Structure 1
């Protein structure tokens, strides 16, 4: 799986032409196209200079304190990248493990952290600003899913919940892991590590100790690897095809929003639909 990355939107070259997938950055998307091979020119962002810097420029989150009109305009702009009859299904993400199976579009966001659809006119969107966005489809391109994979949903087995709810067998599922807070920046405590180690000792590999007081005292802090946690869960379930865009939202402040870095900030979106 190959990704083309203009300044404003990453177009994901999915293995089947029946699926269209994109992920946004914090820069505005001014050159819409439904082609997965598009390359955009340098985007002019001067029209956003009066927006608060924490949201500048392409914020898609309507719950973070940004101007509602600006968010609505950004979401409208995002639709231009999708097939004409497709509507984006937004979620009210609560860091849980609820999986919504969608047969029709809902104007109101659905309370869930993952969604599945086989409806060709519904695009599934996951908003992030450090958490890991996961996009999935079957090889035929007849079923898609999207997951908001922060550490809490991952610890609550949201990946297993999603894949077990899909009609496609794991070996027929294609997975893409998007940009998230990287292993050099995601500092967590012993409690987070233990949440995963209670599931399986294999997750120890995803936690690098960064504070060691003595040989008799356990490390107080760890650097956690969200993509590795997701990969371990996916492979254990029988998924064989996993690709990722390994970029750190925390470190790349010019390109991505990061809640851990900035606190008050906007949201990117990773979107998948049937083409």
Structure 2
């Protein structure tokens, strides 16, 4: 395990030593790749510079138009922060509510927006660029889960479905919520608010009116708080041990990718695995 961390990796202080978790950002990695990219940018045309600056030096998304070789290098570089013989299981996230139980590592992306594993040699990685990453484990540290908390998965009860497939009781679960688009930057329409409020009336607390310039000023718009929505869901399910990293991906352009801000952009990853002792 590497002891000195680069600026683009942040380890999460998990309540049990049997679980290891970290999250990434878009800051450059102190690696040959970042040097090579810097040299490339200096010798590129203006158009190519714009294209590569959309991804910066540490993009982990292989579906956004970045150089496949660079993305593969970035993904492989994460292995040095994991226990030996641990492999990262990546997913194709489709904003659905399918929960995959990962028994063994598969050398391909699995279509799912949440996953659970009890295999000590598998790390689960959730990619985000405004959506809410949610990581779970039990107190003992014998199973972990990762959830892609976009508003669509959250509105179709992906948290509940994930916890239902875990072997642990909700009161025994630890939840971590990472950086996502902030409560005063995520603008949604009446339909999104209504979708959540029909599920659970207290979700109305996660929406506040906002003034937007639209073609029809009578159309109501709201600021949506993804972290509050997820927290209310977790508490309702009986999960009370909740850790939050409340940083806005939209507002912090230097540190985080944001799809809503930039459209063409990279992806961060939140990674969790069992930590054999």
Does the 8 Å contact 2:92/2:109 carry over to 1?
A: yes
Aligned partners of 2:170 and 2:238 also within 8 Å: yes
1:141-180 → structure 2 map (5 Å cutoff): 141-180=141-180
Q: How does 1:110-125 map to 2 (within 5 A)?
A: 110-125=110-125
Once residues 267 and 259 of structure 2 are traced to their aligned partners in structure 1, the CA distance between those partners, rounded to angstroms, is 9
Deviation at 1:80, TM superposition (A): 1.1
> Structure 2 CA distance, aligned partners of 1:227 and 1:152?
14
How far 1:219 moved relative to its partner?
6.2
CA deviation string 1:175-231 (max 9, x = no partner): 000000001110010011011011011110000001399xxx976100000000000
Structure 1 contact 29–78 (Cα < 8 Å) conserved: no
Q: Which position in structure 1 is the counterpart of 2:48?
A: none
Task: Supply the distance in 1 between the matched residues of 2:122 and 2:218 (Cα, whole angstroms).
Answer: 48
Verify the 8 A CA contact 1:138 1:174 in the aligned structure 2: yes
Shift of 1:28: 3.2
Q: Partners in 2 of 1:143 and 1:30 — Cα distance? A: 32
Partner of 1:48: 37
Aligned to 2:247: 247
How much does 1:29 deviate?
Answer: 3.7
Post-superposition offset of 1:260:
0.3
Tell me the residue number matched to 1:25. 25
| Match in the other structure for 1:35 | none
Which residue of the partner structure matches residue 260 of structure 1?
A: 260
In structure 2, how many angstroms separate the alpha carbons of the residues matched to 1:222 and 1:147?
24
Secondary structure of 1:175's partner?
strand
CA 1:28–1:79 in structure 2 vs 1: closer, same or farther (change >3 Å)?
A: farther
The answer to whether the Cα contact below 8 Å between 1:209 and 1:219 also exists between their aligned partners in 2 is: no
Do the aligned partners of 1:211 and 1:219 also contact (CA within 8 Å) in 2?
no
Partner SS state of residue 147, structure 2: strand
Give the deviation of 1:48 after TM superposition: 2.7
- Provide the aligned C-alpha RMSD in A: 2.1
2:6/2:30 contact within 8 Å kept: no
> Paired residue for 2:44?
none
More helix by share: 2
Between the aligned partners of 1:117 and 1:162, the Cα distance in structure 2 is 11
1:98 and 2:98 matched: yes
Once the two structures are superposed, what CA deviation does each residue of 1:139-196 show, in whole Å capped at 9, x if it has no partner?
A: 0000000000000000000000000110000000000000000011100100110110
Query: Structure 1: where are the runs of 5+ without partners?
Result: 32-43
Distance in structure 2 (CA, Å) of the matches to 1:218 and 1:163 = 40
CA contact (8 A) 1:125 1:269 kept: yes
SS in 2 for 1:184: coil
Distance in structure 2 (CA, Å) of the matches to 1:132 and 1:267: 12
Q: Give the deviation of 1:7 after TM superposition.
A: 2.3
Aligned residues of 2:18 and 2:142 also touching (Cα < 8 A):
yes
Q: Does 1:223 align with 2:189?
A: no
Q: Measured at CA, do residues 212 and 133 of structure 1 come closer, stay the same or move farther in structure 2, by a change above 3 Å?
A: closer
What is the number of equivalent residue pairs in this alignment? 258
Equivalent-residue separation in structure 1 for 2:12 and 2:65 (angstroms): 30
CA distance in 2, matches of 1:46, 1:92: 29
Q: What is aligned with 1:135? A: 135
Misfit runs of 4+, over 3 Å: 28-31, 44-47
